[in-house]
Chains A and B, each alone.
Chain A
Amino acid sequence: MAGVPISRRAVLRFLGLGVAALGARGFPAIAGGDGGHVVVVGGGFGGATAARYIRRFDPSIRVTLVEPRARFYTCPFSNLYLAGLRSFDKLGHGYDALRRIHGVDVVPAWVEDVDTVARHVRLRDGSRLAYDRLLLSPGVDMDWQALEGYDAAASEHAPHAWKAGSQSHRLRRQLEAMDDGGVFILSAPANPYRCPPGPYERVSLIAHFLKRHKPRSKILLLDAKDGFSKQPLFMEGWQALYGGMIEWVGLSADGRVLRVDARRREVETEFGARHRAAVLNVVPPQKAGLIAHRAGVTDRSGWVPVKPETFESRQVDNVYVVGDATVAAPMPKSAFCANSQARMAAAAIVASLQNRAPPEPVWANTCYSLLAPEYGISVAGVYRLIDGEIAEVPNSGGISPLEAGSDFRAREARYAQRWYASICDDTWGPRG
């Protein structure tokens, strides 16, 4: 300890943090500035969390969050909307609290390009924002080249609904219009993709909807892999709740969809089987959001390799990336992980601007899935750096027990609701 120098300025900054926190309720937030400027691109779970926590950790740092949409609609809980169990509006979160309480400068704009040498981002209107550090939280884009017959135009007929928005509305309308006795088909991709248990929660909640309103209907889940997140729990729950309504076909049983005819709502699998749906939901392969490619931080996989200790790009200095766009396995592409990575990256950015070493990281994940409104299951994990790589802490984590009672499942369903409220609060501040 004696060998570690510490500046008077750093001490004052630490002390100042406490004062600023006390002042948060009654006074306008300090905009900051002399501690440097961080530009954050993307206002989802990763970006909004990072913006907030950079300001919390060092209010002298100016933070500009660039996000084109006035409200962010979450993928978590959008399956409840599809099943008619939650209003779409309740998935939306605005940026007023980030502005008002946390002093983040929120700019409603689309980032067109990044110049990582001159260190500025260019907005669609041509203006530029200079940065000392850049954090990208671009989420995913659908990979329209990856699945024959499935592009943006095809998704008008066979929605992916893998980003909450117009695609969700389209799929919801199709489900409402579907005749009783129709077949709903979901095509699930190989790993990695956003929200590993998402397809399975989706068919569960759609089964809940169909069982009540169109009970003669069937669900076919065609899968490009042979195993999936929380599989034994889903299988157990499907049997208990929906009998034989959901049929899952894995890779080895010819579940991999190779071609889509969206207008006919028909898919063709690897070995040539054709399946026709009343409602076809294609969750295609994905890649990092566009701005990550523009910034030069993606590799040939289409995703973003990062230095695990900081989540700074392995390829470009001073650019940090968090959330679904990154290669962070074994951490899944989940909202919880994006929030966890963003808090840690915020601390790393602050340390870097203060010429300090980054803190030792620890991340966590908890993913709840709802199989019905009163039936929840979970997977949890704690992650650390082990031999320089992200690894799950041995003998920790795991999934809910099999054969648990209905009380247990109901409790996890309530926890899922509470988790959603808490993480959204931690990300965007009080709902406004």
Chain B
Amino acid sequence: MAVKQLRWLAAGVVSGLVVSTAHAAAAEPDPRRTELLAGVCFSCHGTDGRHGGDFEPLAGRSYEALQDTLLAFRADTVPGATVMPRLVKGLDEDEIRALARYFSSLEASSAEVSR
């Protein structure tokens, strides 16, 4: 297997997303980038987005639902929204899509916190 393919495979396993061509073309593509970006969400939505309660669990929701919700927060069209519009305005659309891919690729389950 070519080195390039190995790298893509590794990226897919670790972060559960397919690195976009734009990102892959960057000087130092880092498969951890999206996982770290998602980390911003963990502090409220739980590690890997796996806690429910008053916050939406994120892991295992569909790509479309996640992307649409985040874009709606960003456009200020979610009535009664609290901190999410303020936070999502700090992200660009590529990052929103990467987050949607990341969380939709995770299994919803697990009462136990994953590593």
Contacts and interface: CB of A to CB of B under 8 A. Distances in A.
A44 interface: no
A378 to B, nearest CB: 5
Given A57-B32, A359-B36, A366 B6 contact: no
A382 interface: yes
A397 B77 CA distance: 16
A332 interface: no
Interface residues of A, number: 66
Nearest to B37: A362
A234 interface: no
Contacts of B36: 343-344, 347, 359, 361-362
A363 B40 contact: yes
Nearest to B95: A362
A101 interface: yes
Nearest to A344: B36
A217 B71 CA distance: 48
A381 B44 contact: no
A392 B90 CA distance: 8
Contacts of B40: 340, 362-364, 382
Contacts of A8: 6
A102 B115 contact: yes
A20 B115 contact: yes
A415 interface: yes
Given A339-B43, A347-B32, A362-B37, A1 B25 contact: yes
A380 interface: yes
Interface of B: 3-4, 6-7, 9-11, 13-14, 24-33, 36-37, 39-40, 42-47, 51, 53-55, 80, 82-83, 86-91, 112-115
B115 A4 contact: no
A398 interface: yes
A306 to B, nearest CB: 17
A396 B86 contact: yes
A429 B10 contact: no
Interface in A387-432: 392-393, 395-398, 400, 407-408, 411-412, 414-415, 417-419, 421-423, 425-426, 429-430
Contact of A360 (B33, B44, B80): B33
A430 B113 contact: yes
A422 B55 contact: yes
Contacts of B26: 1
Nearest to A336: B43
Interface of A: 1-2, 4, 6, 8, 10-11, 14-15, 17-18, 20-21, 24-25, 53, 55-57, 97, 101-102, 336, 339-340, 343-344, 347, 356-357, 359-364, 366, 378, 380-384, 392-393, 395-398, 400, 407-408, 411-412, 414-415, 417-419, 421-423, 425-426, 429-430
A102 to B, nearest CB: 6
A395 B39 contact: no
A56 B115 contact: yes
B89 A418 contact: no
A430 B3 CA distance: 39
A382 to B, nearest CB: 2
22 contacts: A1-B4, A6-B6, A11-B6, A15-B9, A57-B32, A343-B39, A347-B32, A356-B30, A357-B28, A361-B36, A362-B90, A364-B43, A382-B90, A395-B89, A396-B89, A396-B90, A398-B86, A408-B80, A421-B53, A422-B42, A422-B46, A422-B53
A1 B80 CA distance: 44
A426 B43 contact: yes
B31 A426 contact: no
A411 B13 CA distance: 37
B17 to A, nearest CB: 13
Contact of A422 (B6, B28, B51): B51
A101 B114 CA distance: 9
A145 B89 CA distance: 42
A276 B108 CA distance: 56
A340 B29 contact: no
A14 B39 CA distance: 18
A397 B89 contact: yes
The interface centre, meaning the residue of A8, A17, A97, A380 with most chain B CB atoms within 10 A of its CB, is: A380
B6 A397 contact: no
B114 to A, nearest CB: 6
Nearest to A393: B90
Given A357-B30, A360-B33, A408-B82, 18 more contacts: A8-B6, A10-B10, A15-B10, A21-B114, A97-B113, A362-B37, A363-B40, A364-B90, A381-B90, A382-B91, A415-B83, A419-B44, A422-B42, A422-B43, A422-B55, A425-B51, A426-B43, A426-B113
Contacts of B13: 14-15, 17-18
A339 B36 CA distance: 12
